[in-house]
Amino acid sequence: MQVHARAALSPIGRRRVVDRVRGQGWSVTAAAEAAGVTERTVYRWLARFRVHGASGLVDRRPVPRRVPARTPADRVTAICELRQLRLTAAEISERLAMPLSTVSIVLEAGGARQALAARAPRAGQPLRTPPAGRARPHRRQEARAHPGRPGQTGHRAPRTSGSNTDRRRRGSPPADRLGVRPRRRR
């Protein structure tokens, strides 16, 4: 038995409310007040109990029984096949004359993104094979390469000369030869 997170009462408590109204002669208002729920909720439980019995007081699944505007299966397969050809969602929606939002939902639910990602190269693997002429790039080229794969070094900008002597603009006065800074005036 699953009771959703915000359920007012468990099925046993709901049965107690139904018994109070039907068997003990309580009014719906008094039973609802005693249970801490609305009258509408008690009426709903009574109707379910009349139709389904005790099983009607158990929480139902929160998904709809049917979806009248569901995308037809042939359209879903067409969307997935076009995505396998590496068309974007916008291109697919344009070709099939369907809303982009519908195509995106179908692609998300169909796992088309995961299927394409499974065929894509893994992180750390080169996208292309290196040219056959040289096994490694020249040292200068390797030092300039941007970090893309593990082990590659990135470009580091050299420090500008005079970065230590530029303290006056940052607020602290320069020190003399002995490292003593002058006192600030008040």
Q: How far is 184 from 171, CA to CA, in rounded Å? A: 11
* Mean pLDDT across 113-128: 60
pLDDT at 120 over 80: no
Give the domain ranges of the chain: 11-57, 73-118
Q: How far is 19 from 14, CA to CA, in rounded Å? A: 9
CA trace torsion 136, 138, 141, 146 (10° rounding)? 20
94 versus 181: which is more confidently predicted?
94
Burial of 138 (0-12, 13-18, 19+ CB in 10 A): exposed
Q: Which residues contact 80 (CB under 8 A, 6 or more apart)?
A: 106, 107, 110, 112
When pLDDT is cut at 50, 70 and 90, the band that residue 55 belongs to is confident
